[in-house]
Structure 1
């Protein structure tokens, strides 16, 4: 059974807007594979977050670290196993 992982994506000083479309392509691919639950940006422009499904923290980390915003150094990622307590 897959667990939920919250990926916090915070822009670095090296952020380059040209990475946005490859990042969106990455997220669309995860969605098509059933590995992405939701994603969104922070309205203050500092970054965003997404929730992925994976078997373990190490698998979630490997998956998130293949995101173009990470591989280009445009953003720093922090990945948390996320246990939902209350949901709509």
Structure 2
């Protein structure tokens, strides 16, 4: 079973809003492949986060670093292996 990974995407000062639609398409592709658990934006406009399934931290980074908000340099992405302790 794949592990869960939290991807934090924090906007850089020179954030390019043209990356938003490709980012949404990227997330939709992850959802279709069963890799995306959930995603959302921060209401203060500083970025967002999503949770993905992957076999390893390296695999999760490979997935996340292909996100258009990362490849365009619009956001700084950090990937954490996430061990869920309590869930609804």
- TM-score interval for Structure 1 and Structure 2 normalised by the shorter chain: over 0.9
Q: Distance in 2 between matches of 1:56 and 1:16?
A: 30
* Distance in 1 between residues matched to 2:53 and 2:38, nearest whole Å: 10
RMSD (CA atoms): 0.4
Deviations 1:16-57 (A, max 9, x none): 111100000000000000000000000000000000000000
Query: C-alpha displacement at 1:13, in angstroms?
Result: 1.4
* TM value normalised by structure 1: 0.99
Q: How many residues align?
A: 88
Partner residue of 2:9?
9
CA shift, 1:12, in A, is: 0.4
Q: Name the residue aligned to 1:68.
A: 68
- Which ranges in structure 1 are unaligned for 5 or more consecutive residues? none
Q: Where does the alignment leave 5 or more consecutive residues of structure 2 unmatched?
A: none
SS at match of 1:78: strand
> C-alpha displacement at 1:14, in angstroms?
2.0
Alignment of structure 1 residues 1-88 onto 2, 5 Å:
1-88=1-88
The list of structure 1 runs, each at least 4 consecutive aligned residues, that deviate by more than 6 angstroms after superposition, is none
